[in-house]
A and B are shown apart, each in its own frame.
Chain A
Amino acid sequence: MDNGLFEFEYADELDALADFDDEPTEDVCKPKRTLNFTTPNAKTQYGKCKTGDELNSSLLLEPVLSPEAPINGSLLRGRTTGDNSVGSGEKRARTEDDDFGDLPSDSDEEFTAPPINTRSEIEPLSKRPRLKENSKDVIKISPAKINEKTTNSDIYDEDWLKDDWNVNKIISKRNQAKTSHSTRALDEVFRDDKARLLTSRPCGNFLNITGTDGSRFYLKLKEEEDFDKEIIESSKTKNISGLLSVPWEILRQQVEQERQNKIIDEARKITEAINREIDDDLGLDGVDKENEETIALSEPQKFLWVEKYAPCRYTELLSEEAINRTLLHWIKLWDFVVFGKELPNKKKDKKKQKDVKKWKRLPELTDELDKFNRPLQKVVLLCGPPGLGKTTLAQIVATHAGYNVVEMNASDDRSAEVFKNKLEAATQMKAVLGADPRPNCLVIDEIDGAPQPAINMLLNLIRKTDVPPPGKKKSDGGILLRPIICICNDQYVTSLRQLRQSALLLSFPQTESSRLASRLYEVIRQEHLKADMNALLALCERTDNDIRSCLNTLQFVRKNRKELTVQSVQGMSIGQKDAHRSLFSTWYEIFTMPRGKQNRFVNLRDLSEGKTTKAATATTPSVRFQNILLVAQAAGEYDKVKQGLFENYLEAKSKDPHLVGLNLANEWLGFTDMIQRYTNHSQDYSLMKYVPFLPVTFHLLYASYTPPRIQYPHSQFEMRTKQTKSDNLVGSMMADMLPTVKRFVNTTAMVMDVIPPLMDIIQPTLRPVNTQLYSAREKEEMANLIRIMIAYNMTYHQEKQEDGQYNYSIEPKVDEIIKFPGMKQHRQMTYAAKQLIAREIDLEKMRRYEAKLTPVLNIQVEKKSVESKTSKASSSSSDNPSLPNHLQTLQAKPLAGDKVVNFFGHFTKTKREVKVEKQQEKKDEKKSEILATDIWFHFKEGFSNAVRRNVKIQDLL
């Protein structure tokens, strides 16, 4: 059993060495051979060559080679019981070799008994004090002992070989020694002792040893302290539980496992080979399932298949040939600038003409170069849905054209500053130190997510046309001299709007299903996944020909199963994605009746009902229902979709003589509108899920083979802005209306009832003459008009019109609110009349303002006059009891003297009077008096503004 075990353990080595082994001595005794292999060559010779020289030299080497010792030990251990029966000489010798190392550690008697008679040279050593630990002694002695042993190996062979007792004893001792750790320490020392066996005489203490052939060696002796130290150290550092760092049971297990793996590997290889043959022969049938299962479980997957099977050459690209070629052609146009190569002119032109004819969809790429010999379009914008290989294409084409691809994507920081630095680094500079001297080609991936400033930076670089003058500080870098490829998913992103104009736009079409499927087929054959072409096609359809999605799905399937069927593709939830479509395509889809194309991979419902056999076409209502529902749900933006439907459905052709469909559609619109209101109001989105059914209804009602030309819905937005404008107009009018008027009206009443007649009322027929000439009635009418306009916060405002003429318009322009298109024009007043009214309104407002500022004064004046009258009548100057105290003000005493009427007809005081007063009154009083008069004069030497007079606005009005 043990032998078998050995075989097991060393099967590897067995195999490996079988190649080197020239000798035909492969006999039955495998353990022997094993031993031969595991121990160094010296040992193989050891048994075979009995000649003294060889033997000695080899044996002498043994301690030196002792790094192997632990291994040997372990090997021997495993063999111990088996050895008893095998009595071959070399084995015995070997055993004893090792045993000698072990023996002394066990007991002194053992140690001394046999070897002592042969050893004379060791005497000094054995005389050393025995008080120390056994192990120490052993260690000290061992080097010598080994030498001694080697010298006497012949003797051993002869004397001890047949001594069974001895052998048994040794073996039993060895078994005891299994647990002893001293041997390990011993091994360590052996290793250390390499340096101590010298051929020349060393300094310090030494022993000289003479070999059987007379050669002399010197063994350097260590100090005792050193030994102690070493032992302590070694006992510290080493794991002392056994000979091995890893328990041999575990080692055995490992080896066993390794062997098992190897067997499994082999088995797999064989089955693979078989499978492939079978596949080739019988299609994909008849493979042993069990085998496959094991493969699936054991195979490690390190790479994503997407990476593993990414094309690495131009010819392997899956995308449409035309796109590839256009891009390549464009990048080749840069050759002149970048590489200084002349472009092949005429020939290429012709070829391209043909291309253009072939691929009409593609934007025309002109071969023309600008004044810096760059292509006219400096940037290519690759756009298309995810998973079509845009990035791959860009990288491969750039590499193909001899560029070093510098990629920048959304994972990088793309703030304007960083973007600029990177842009410059990529386009203006070149790796100097790197092994790759190729010029850079910048690939900006996912540019639709980049911030606007960053894109502007790119635009500036593109549009820069002249090299800055040499004197100028070259802070903003030079012109663009390297190709840039931008990649985006949505080319209609706002930030890309300008870039689109100056870029060569290449939009990726869908990869052809058949082409993709055939590539997938190659992949799954290499990955040993079973699938037929139909399943692959179904998969392609499910993923919208997204290469990445397909491969990922396949890899996922491969992980768990070994077969891909149409059914499993149908049932898979992976690969189904909410492809973000533009609103226009959503609307288009809704209004378009699907063509009768075979489309049996979408009908989920039929599947669940088990009607797989019935190939449903895309034109059956249920499929259409499902499709449109998916489209609507994927589109999101329900409100916008709905608006688009609302604004376009009346243009759609449909047979609806009784307008039943029309009503149904409107019913749905109203229903979703209510849902929307509810959702917005209560923030409860549970009803939201019913909204996507609106597009379905519209599809079923209005889908046709010739869909209407879809207009972007903006009427609601326009309406809202207009309405806000109107609201604001009315609001501004209402804001400053007199409160006595304002309290009786609200906005609605204003718009509906008040303003329309008001517009007539404020435009009476006025005689086009000077207001001075108006009759009293006309004046009263005019005043009334002014009052109305002020009450309703209206006035006329001069405005310059488009034709350059000035006109007065009502401010705020409420006339716009009541005006409807197609209605008869309202009578307009003349320019002069409006001007007159505007002026009058201003004057009236000023008067009122004035009155508001000095209401107290006016009251005072009135009261004063009343008072004076009453006082005159009653001839009493005492205070009026009717007037509350706080309202009374101190009155200046009426001045004596005649009132003199001045030139303006106002009462005034003459200078003489002032003079007289001056004499009478005190100085401060006098000053206030002067200021209180209407006209005063203040003389300043050298400067005079002559006579001053206070004039109030109300005097002028």
Chain B
Amino acid sequence: MSLWVDKHRPSLLHKLDYHKQQAANLKKLVQSGDLPHLLVYGPSGAGKKTRITCLLRELYGAGAEKLRIEQSQFTTPSNKKIDISTIASNYHIEVNPSDVGNNDRIVIQELIKNLAQVNQLDSSSQKEFKVVVLTEVDRLTKDAQHALRRTMEKYMATCRLILCCNSTSKVIPAIRSRCLGVRIAAPSEDEICQILQNVCKKEGCNLPIELAKRIAVKSNRNLRRAILMCEACKVQQYPFSADQNISEPDWEIYLRETANMIVQQQSPKRLLEVRARLYELLTHCIPADIIIKGLLQELLANCDGQLKTEVVQAAAYYDHRLMIGQKAIYHLEAFVAKFMAIYKQFLDEGMAEFF
């Protein structure tokens, strides 16, 4: 609302700050009157949701911005009650089915059926379809995704789906082929700088370009983070100085320290310490794939060029195992152990050559 992120979020397609061509295309799509199912994908903080809301606004007008939170209840075949909260306007409904874990299939089936079985009364003045926005589709179970594919075709007359996810690799091809893919790439650092400065101008403060660049780099091309960081900087110290401290999230620092520990020493004992830190990260709700990615980035910085491919390959291998395994800790530790072995061997060889 009043965080800068929320306050300065564009709500119209033509006001979007980057990927303007794409925005224009979307606008044309909407103006044609109909809409295919959309699969919007892109990294976190790239503006997928913003773009979707702009699209809805374009479709239905201001009415799509009157939101309410609804609690829906579904009953599984085994008579278990599932509650899920949805965000809805008169024209659309947003739901994150992965909130209910393994029962997401029921949610998808019931919710879409309920919505799609009701036709719009006055189809002359408004669109004849409603929109269902499903977020985090990549976290849906396979069952749910299969349940989705038939529903998508069956209720085409009365509803459109907008699926939102970070990566399409975990969306089954059947769904991918039924949707128009919309890739929202992360904004470039320059774009982020520009946006930050615009925001600051609107807020009536002066952001030095150097600081904006630093924030853009730190944010990892995540616009949400960039704006939040910028605001945090403002709260901490205003007027801005170009070299002021940008506070980073604790978990990133922690992860970096963990990576450093791994590089410093390679032994089972150190692995034990690393394990404790991995546990700590996991308990703070940091997803395992983020951990492995973060570790990899930090570790690669300490690696010699010839090691990099090997380490990346190992990371990819264990990332995959992470996906098909059950308990993250085993695979994270396996990755760390693997890196330790690779790194140690490299060091030993280096020593041997040296002498």
Contacts and interface: CB of A to CB of B under 8 A. Distances in A.
B281 to A, nearest CB: 8
A719 interface: yes
A752 B166 CA distance: 15
A223 to B, nearest CB: 88
A670 B321 contact: yes
Contact of B279 (A660, A719, A741, A823): A719
A658 B225 CA distance: 41
Interface in A811-828: 817-823
B2 A757 contact: no
The size class of the interface chain B forms with chain A is 35 or more
A820 B290 contact: no
A676 B326 contact: yes
B340 A662 contact: yes
A742 interface: yes
A328 to B, nearest CB: 50
Contacts of A788: 1-3
Interface in A758-805: 758, 760-761, 763-764, 784, 787-788, 790-792
A719 B279 CA distance: 7
Best-surrounded residue of A680, A719, A764 (most CB of chain B within 10 A): A719
Contacts of A715: 279
A735 B96 CA distance: 13
A677 B331 CA distance: 13
Contact of B341 (A659, A676, A677, A719): A659
A760 B6 contact: no
Contact of A666 (B44, B135, B266, B338): B338
B352 interface: no
A658 B345 contact: yes
Nearest to A743: B87
A727 B285 contact: yes
> Interface of chain A, helix or strand or loop or mixed?
helix
Nearest to B269: A650
The size class of the interface chain A forms with chain B is 35 or more
A420 to B, nearest CB: 39
A760 B286 contact: no
Contact of A663 (B6, B251, B329, B341): B341
A656 B49 CA distance: 51
A850 interface: no
A153 interface: no
Contact of B268 (A650, A726, A741, A760): A650
B347 to A, nearest CB: 11
A727 B283 CA distance: 9
B89 to A, nearest CB: 9
Interface stretch (B105-113, B179-187, B226-234, B300-308): B226-234
A113 to B, nearest CB: 103
A646 B337 CA distance: 13
B239 interface: no
Interface string A644-686: 0010001100001011101101110110011011001000000
A899 B292 CA distance: 74
A666 B225 contact: no
A756 B268 contact: no
A856 interface: no
A646 B330 contact: yes
A673 B231 contact: no
A754 to B, nearest CB: 6
Nearest to A749: B44
A674 B324 contact: yes
B327 A748 contact: no
B9 interface: yes
B25 interface: no
B135 A746 contact: yes
Interface string B27-52: 00000000000000000110001100
A757 B247 contact: yes
Contacts of B327: 673, 716
Contacts of A659: 266, 268, 337, 340-341, 344
B209 interface: no
Interface in B253-278: 253-254, 257, 266, 268-269, 271-272, 275
A615 interface: no
Best-surrounded residue of B85, B266, B325 (most CB of chain A within 10 A): B325
Contacts, number: 189
Contacts of A819: 250
Contacts of A758: 3, 228, 232
B232 A761 contact: yes
B67 interface: yes
A792 B284 CA distance: 19
B283 A719 contact: yes
B190 interface: no
Contacts of B344: 658-659
A263 interface: no
A747 interface: yes
B172 interface: no
A819 B337 CA distance: 27
Nearest to A827: B236
Given A674-B321, A749-B224, A821 B338 contact: no
B228 A757 contact: yes
Contact of A760 (B45, B225, B236, B340): B236
A115 B286 CA distance: 127
Given A742-B87, A820-B251, A761 B231 contact: yes
Contacts of B345: 658
Contacts of B266: 659
A747 B99 CA distance: 9
B53 interface: yes
Best-surrounded residue of B5, B235, B275 (most CB of chain A within 10 A): B235
B44 A748 contact: yes
A391 to B, nearest CB: 43
A723 B269 CA distance: 25
B253 A823 contact: yes
A743 B67 contact: yes
A531 interface: no
Given A726-B284, A748-B44, A670 B325 contact: yes
B212 to A, nearest CB: 15
A821 B341 contact: no
A651 B267 CA distance: 11
A909 B268 CA distance: 87
Contacts of A743: 49, 53, 67, 87, 94
A817 B85 contact: no
B333 A666 contact: yes
B150 interface: no
A726 B225 contact: no
A370 to B, nearest CB: 49
A621 B6 CA distance: 66
B287 interface: yes
A669 B331 CA distance: 8
A751 interface: yes
A723 B285 contact: yes
A821 B283 CA distance: 12
A761 B235 contact: yes
B16 interface: no
B6 A744 contact: yes
Interface string B309-340: 00000000010010011110111011001101
B341 A760 contact: no
Contact of B228 (A676, A722, A748, A754): A754
B128 interface: no
B231 A730 contact: no
Contact of A761 (B53, B68, B228): B228
Contacts of B325: 670, 673-674, 677
A741 B253 CA distance: 27
Contact of B224 (A742, A753, A763): A753
10 closest Cβ pairs, A-B complex: A756-B249, A666-B334, A677-B326, A757-B228, A739-B67, A722-B283, A760-B232, A757-B232, A791-B1, A659-B341
19 contacts: A658-B348, A673-B325, A676-B326, A677-B325, A716-B327, A727-B285, A739-B87, A744-B6, A748-B290, A749-B45, A754-B228, A756-B251, A758-B3, A787-B2, A788-B3, A791-B2, A821-B280, A822-B254, A822-B257
